[in-house]
Amino acid sequence: MPHGCKKITILGAGMAGLVAAHELEELGHQVEVIEGSERLGGRVRTHRFGDGESAPLVELGAMRIPAKHRHTMDYVEKLGLSPKLKEFKTLFSEEDAYYTTSAGFVRVRDVAKVLVDEFRVLIADHNLREETILFGAWLTAVGDAIGPAAIRAMLRTDFLADLLEAVDRIDLEPFLAGQARDQIDLHAFFAAHPEVRTSGAGKLNTFIEDILDETSSRLLRLEGGMDQLVGTLASRIEGPIRTGHEVRAIEIRDDHVAVTVYNTEQARTLLCDYVLCTIPFSVLGKLRLIGFSDDKLAIIDEVRYGSATKVAFHCREPFWERDGINGGASFGGGRIRQTYYPPVEGDPANGAALLASYTVADDADVLGKMPEAQRHDVVLGEAGAMHPDLHEPGMVVEAVSHAWGEYRWNDGAAVMRWGKDPAACEEERDRAARPEGRLFFAGEHCSSNAAWIDGAIESAFCAVRAIEEH
């Protein structure tokens, strides 16, 4: 082995593991990747309804890239995928989409009055300007559509009241939007007044950051599927990538790391010079861990993951276009929460994909714990109330879903740091990423940008530097 070349075993073939493998090989190191499941990509999971490039597809995992996520954008360019970048239309980006209110399914362009009327009931004891009430109504609307139950509850307590008191002292005229000026440009407001996010409502800070990302007008997708990131990246890694190799135990020793792996009912122990572990802590904590410090064991136990469940339908045709909807998402409420309308990119004769339900946290667990057939029936029933065309004979050709909270190789969709202040988030990141002897850690849980591909890539870069310097 050439002088200075290290031999590194990477546990996990998600984005963090694959990026780290590629970067380490470029630095001249020898790498092998071990993956417990039979597929690559971790929480990047593109499903195609059929074979060939013209088959409709839906993202059951990561589906969007904020343009400001430089690590991801740089890697997209490095892999030659930049020409595939297209606009991702998100919640509230399509005025003809629906928002569920107490008055029923209301078009986004018409929903402001209903939202304000509903919000007045919440803040009846507070004396606020009309513009502030409008601000609170829209922030609560976004929270209801995107946030888990705990965040929705927080938006109805003193946390929101504290934030609104700060907002009430600011001129909101420059941030009124929409033809009727009955919408609030939350992105422009928080960009101009970042101090509001860390005011008395500091516990909302991480949530506000996420909703700004998720409803940004500068979100992108990869035409042809996000799994192109995975396939292209894996093709550039020279070392072996072994799927179906389940890690059962990790033991830290003085000058190496012992990893016990099961493959087709056979167990063997690998004696590794260096190990980079990208296994989610929700899974890692269930393994036999020997030689770990008390603090590392504690943070593995403390990190909390949120669930996500997606249910998609292969439809005979994009019926929503007849309803004036050309992309974006609706808020269906109930158990389905968000419904997305992916663009039809292939042969129209092959039909279209509808992401009928996207839920997170407790909402995701409700659907995720159901038997698959029941889950699909529930979503069809609720989405069909908003879109009766779904009940036309032959409209739904096939249903597919993925419950990340029930998936044994992840046991959760992503780390959820909502409700933690920035200092607590940074402490958690530092403790999660801290090496133990020759065992290093990466994954979105070890990053400052949890729940995004960008965090996984960031953590891989940090781990590569640490291994290089060891």
- pLDDT over 90 at 151, yes or no: no
CA dist list (Å): 271 to 10, 146, 252, 259:
13, 45, 10, 7
3-state helix, strand, coil split of the chain in percent (to 5) is: 40, 25, 35
pTM: 0.94
Q: Environment class of residue 273 by beta-carbon count within 10 Å: exposed (0-12), middle (13-18) or buried (19+)?
A: middle
Strands ordered across the beta sheet of 98-101 = 104-107, 98-101, 329-333, 337-340, 352-360, 308-315, 396-403
């200075």: which residue's tokens? Answer: 4
pLDDT (mean) for 154-174: 83
What are the sequence ranges of the domains in the chain?
A: 7-43+229-304+415-469, 46-91+220-225+305-406, 109-215
Nearest-angstrom CA–CA distance, 106 and 322? 17
- pLDDT over 70 at 198, yes or no: no
pLDDT tens digits for 374-418? 999 999 999 999 999 999 999 999 999 999 999 999 999 999 887
Residues 170, 122 contacting (CB under 8 angstroms): no
Kind of pairing between the strands at 104-107 and 65-66: unpaired
CATH architecture for segment(s) 46-91+220-225+305-406:
Alpha-Beta Complex (3.90)
The region of weakest confidence among 26-30, 160-164, 200-204 is 200-204
Q: What is the pLDDT of residue 199?
A: 61
Kind of pairing between the strands at 176-177 and 183-184: antiparallel
CB 124: neighbour CB atoms within 10 A? 7
């009309």: which residue's tokens? Answer: 130
Q: What is the CATH number of domain 7-43+229-304+415-469?
A: 3.50.50.60
pLDDT tens digits for 250-292? 999 999 999 999 998 789 999 999 999 999 999 999 999 999 9
The region of weakest confidence among 118-132, 163-177, 222-236 is 118-132
pLDDT tens digits for 328-370? 999 999 999 999 999 998 888 999 999 999 999 999 999 999 9
Fold: same for 7-43+229-304+415-469 and 46-91+220-225+305-406: no
Nearest-angstrom CA–CA distance, 13 and 42? 6
